[in-house]
Amino acid sequence: MTASRMTATDPAPFRLRRNTRDLPKAVEALAKALPARDLRTVLADANRTAVRKGSTSAFGSMNPRPVDWYCFEEGDDQTTDWYPQGVASSSEAGRKDVQAFVVSWYWKPEGASTERGVRLSFLSTVTRKYRHVLLVEPKVDGSYVAIDIHAGGVAWYGDLIYVADTSRGLRVFDTRRVFEVNGDDDKIGKRNGRYHAFGYRYVMPQVDAWAATAKARFSFAAVDRGTTPHTLVSGEYVDPAEDPGLVGRVARWPLAADGTPVAGADGTAAAADAFALPAAKIQGALSYKGKWYLSQAASSTANGSLLVVPDGQTAQVRKFPIGPEDLTCWSEKNQLWSVTEYKGRRALFAVPV
């Protein structure tokens, strides 16, 4: 599909219904058994070091290069077990107490004996240190399990982190609900009175969920703080080879002051608007100051594209790194940030908006 314009479309398929279930009760069971740690403690306890403007082949033939970037440690850059996908910033979240990014990674191996799920990396821009935190689904019996999803996008608002769950909607996590564990590296959950998390020191349990009420995909996520009220953004990755005839869409939901989508009397949250995307293979979308920014994939060896689409106008296409994923904004610096996914070519990077 040739890049053109964002076209308004029916937002009805993007209606969300809150699906809290017994998650609060399950989280409270963990809170009684495990020590809670706040985000600043997790960042202060970071055990990996990112290299600012380090050497990387992630940018390919991109010229000019990004204005800023961070490279992960070699073990994270080279692993074929975990792949980065979503990204959000403390600026997007409206946080003043920390300066940080969060990046989601999904466990890649198919058919492995143990599914390790999803982890979030919290990276401090002050210290350049980062730490992985394992996401878990808590159970009312006081245990928890790994979360087997792609985690293609992350949105951060206040204390809440939204993780895209492709066919189901959005899972919600709370930075005030991080727990420290000290178990073996080959187990998950509560075993014989001890809590395990595949060797990770911290777990973050799911606290809420918003489920799709119709057929829609949730491939990426972001927050637009320029709208009134602020809006949560999510939309669909569509590959013509796998989905012939389908066109990807993106939607925005108004957020309440507590960071939850504004729901009506029927308990559902209607999208404020929705748009058909002007191109295929969109990995991230963000609306900012009257423009849409779309991250478009190519291949594991070819540069992707950044589509900049002013309201009502034709998309401008810029060269982007190899394997670009989700998008976030650091508004104080007027920078757009993304993360690249492929082995040996992983970087968290910024371009001017």
Q: What is the DSSP string of 6-32?
A: -EE---GGG-EEE--TTHHHHHHHHHH
Specify the residue for token string 């970037």.
69
Q: Which domains does the chain have, with CATH numbers?
A: 7-352 (2.120.10)
Q: Distance of alpha carbon 179 from its chain centroid, rounded?
A: 20
How is the beta sheet containing 220-224 ordered, strand by strand?
Answer: 7-8, 273-276, 249-254, 231-235, 220-224
Cα 131–Cα 294–Cα 272 angle in degrees, nearest 5: 95
CA distance 256 to 261: 6
pLDDT of residue 3: 53
How many residues are there in the chain?
353
Bridge partners of 294, per DSSP, are: 285, 307
Distances (CA, A) of 236 to 120, 165, 172, 348: 21, 11, 19, 22
pLDDT of residue 112: 64
CA distance 250 to 217: 9
Collapse the DSSP code of 75 into the 3-class scheme (helix H, G, I; strand E, B; otherwise coil) and give the result.
Answer: helix
pLDDT of residue 225: 97
**What type of residue sits at position 172?**
V
Residue 242 sits at φ, ψ, to 5 deg, of -100, -25
pTM, whole model, 2 decimals? 0.97
| Sign of the torsion formed by the C-alpha atoms of 241, 243, 244 and 247 | negative
- Please give the chain's pLDDT, 353 residues, in tens: 445 899 999 999 999 999 999 999 999 999 999 999 999 999 999 999 999 999 999 999 999 999 999 999 999 999 999 999 999 999 999 999 999 999 999 999 977 678 999 999 999 999 999 999 999 999 999 999 999 999 999 999 999 999 999 999 999 999 999 999 987 788 999 999 999 999 999 999 999 999 999 999 999 999 999 999 999 999 999 999 999 999 999 999 999 999 999 999 898 999 999 999 999 999 999 999 999 999 999 999 999 999 999 988 999 999 999 999 999 999 999 999 999 999 999 999 999 99
Specify the residue for token string 């706040």.
38
Give residues with Cβ within 8 angstroms of 165, minimum separation 6. Answer: 149, 151, 171, 209, 218
Residue 116, sorted as left (phi over 0), alpha (psi -120 to 50) or beta, turns out to be: alpha
pLDDT of residue 349: 98
pLDDT of residue 2: 47
Helix (H) or strand (E) holding 287: strand 282-288
CA distance 284 to 270: 21
Nearest to 117 by CA among 17, 14, 200, 208: 200
CA distance 105 to 247: 26
